[in-house]
Structure 1
Amino acid sequence: MEARHVLALRQILASTSWLQRVEDLARSLRHTRSPGGLMLVGTPDDEPWHLAAHLSDESRYAGLPQLAPNLVRWSPPPGAPPHLSIDLDRLAEARRGDTLFVVNPAEEAPAPLLERVDDARRTGTTILALDRGDRDLASLAHDAISLPAGDAPLTFDGLQHLVSSAAGQQEDSRRPRLRDRVSRFLDVVSGPRSPG
């Protein structure tokens, strides 16, 4: 999804609570303490490759190295490159200051995933989640967004794009927020407005 599509989606959702929820989750992602501390895991049947790529991009663009995730995989193939061979043992090493971001596009997370998330939480790891209304996963998460199936106009893929885009927006008072930058851009493109 291109930046202009994310912007269009943000405009569609402007009158809803979705954008605030996305910004809250993005803020939690940015609070990961150090590079290598963000772990991203999906289910055995659906690994969040696309979200991992977008978070890595946002990490580079925004200069926020802690946003570059370690994609944790259920069964990395033998001989996979190091960044694609991180297995579930990484979750056992999670500690306070780390963040585990769980992406579950199914209605219920598998029991082995919930057990590992619970173990990571007990070590002080911050748990974040994107899910389809999974109460068990949401109960383990410190911050979560649930998108029930068919909640138009937002899709699960669109939600992931909004979160990754928002994660790259720093909350530095010297740097204008995306909404302010877009507003200024539109002012320049459309010309001066008439008063009143």
Structure 2
Amino acid sequence: MDGEQVTMLREVLATTGWLERTREFARALRVSARTPGGLMLVGTPAEEPWHLAAHLDDESRLAALPGLAPTLVRWAPPPGAPAHLAVGLERLEAARRGETLFVVAEGEAPVPLLERVDDARRTGAVILSLDGGDRELRGLAHEALSVPAADPLVTFDGAQHLVSAAAADAGSAAARGRTGLRARLARVLETISGPVVD
């Protein structure tokens, strides 16, 4: 799904309440994932969220929001995998306050995943879930977005695209939004003393 398809999907969903729910969830993701390297993305043993990881990484770069670049946590990384594909479950065991664990599980989350999520929550990590309606997983999450299989409007894959695009929206707006007096003042100050950081 490319940017044009996401835009079309947004137009179709404009009056359904889906966009508001997605934006609210994406806002929670953006607010909690501010620290570079602090966002962990994990799926189930049968389904790792590669696609969402790639989209969040792209949106992170394009919107200048380094905290949105996720660490993909894998259940069984193969020996010799590149560093960004070799992060195993021990990363969840090291989760701490100030970090975010984003769980993506279209089906029912297995007990070992729920146990690790519970442990991460107890150590202070923020838990987010994009799920297919798993009540136990939702019960552990600080913020959850459920996509029931029977939903006629949004597929689980479509919801992932909406979340990644919405998570970066505010960052893109902030990057574009330095206009008017504030932007002119920043340019003047840059010529005098170097770049100004917001």
Residue number in structure 2 paired with 1:49: 50
Task: Give the secondary structure class of the aligned counterpart of 1:169.
Answer: helix
Match of 1:175 among 151, 164, 177: 177
TM-score calculated relative to the size of structure 1: 0.86
Q: Distance in 2 between matches of 1:138 and 1:131?
A: 8
Task: Give the secondary structure class of the aligned counterpart of 1:100.
Answer: strand
Q: Distance in 2 between matches of 1:133 and 1:139?
A: 11
Deviation at 1:174, TM superposition (A): 6.9
Unaligned segments of structure 1, at least 5 residues: 177-196
Q: Distance in 1 between matches of 2:51 and 2:67?
A: 18
Residue number in structure 1 paired with 2:135: 135
* 1:67-105: CA deviation from partner (whole Å, max 9, x where unpaired): 000000000000000100000000111111100000001
Letter in 1 for 2:106: P
Task: Give the secondary structure class of the aligned counterpart of 1:170.
Answer: helix
* 1:111-161: CA deviation from partner (whole Å, max 9, x where unpaired): 000000000000110000011100000000000011111201210000000
Letter in 1 for 2:8: A
TM-score calculated relative to the size of structure 2: 0.85
Unaligned segments of structure 2, at least 5 residues: 179-198
Q: Distance in 1 between matches of 2:153 and 2:133?
A: 17
Which stretch has the larger CA shift, 55-64 or 149-158? Answer: 149-158
**Number of residue pairs aligned between Structure 1 and Structure 2:** 175
Task: Give the secondary structure class of the aligned counterpart of 2:129.
Answer: strand
Where do 1:1-196 residues align within 5 Å?
Answer: 1-31=1-31, 32-106=33-107, 108-170=108-170, 172=174, 175=177
Letter in 2 for 1:175: G
Letter in 2 for 1:43: T
Which stretch has the larger CA shift, 95-104 or 23-32? Answer: 23-32
**2:34 and 2:68 in contact (8 A); partners too:** no
**2:95 and 2:123 in contact (8 A); partners too:** yes
Task: Give the secondary structure class of the aligned counterpart of 1:15.
Answer: coil
Letter in 2 for 1:48: P
Deviation at 1:173, TM superposition (A): 10
Deviation at 1:25, TM superposition (A): 1.2
**2:96 and 2:123 in contact (8 A); partners too:** yes
Letter in 1 for 2:105: N
Identity value in percent? 64
Task: Give the secondary structure class of the aligned counterpart of 2:159.
Answer: helix
Deviation at 1:33, TM superposition (A): 2.9
